[in-house]
Chains A and B, each alone.
Chain A
Amino acid sequence: MTMRDTAEDPASVWDTAATSFARWRAGDPAALDELVRVMSPILWHVVRATGLDKEQSEDVVQTAWLALVRSAHTVGDPQAVARWLCTTARREAWRVSKNAGRSTAVDDESLEWHMPSQASPESEVVLSDEQTRLWESIGHLPDRCQKLLRIVAMEPRPDYARIAGELKMPIGSIGPTRGRCLDKLRHELERTGAGR
Chain B
Amino acid sequence: MGSEVTDETNGWQEAWEAAENGAVAVMDCHEEIPCNPCQEACPNGAIRVEPHVCALPRLDPGACNGCGRCVALCPGMAVFLLDRRERNGFARVTVPYEMGGKPVEGDVVQVVDGEGKALTEGKILKVRAWGGEAPTLLLTVRVPEEVALKVRGVRYRLIELDEGLEVENAPPLLDYPICRCEDVSLQNVRETLRSGVRSLLTLRRATRVGLGYCQGLFCQSSLREELAAAAGREAWKMGSFRVRPPVRPVKLGRLGGENA
Verify that A and B bind, or say they do not.
no
Query: Interface of A with B (CB < 8 Å)?
Result: none
Query: Interface of B with A (CB < 8 Å)?
Result: none
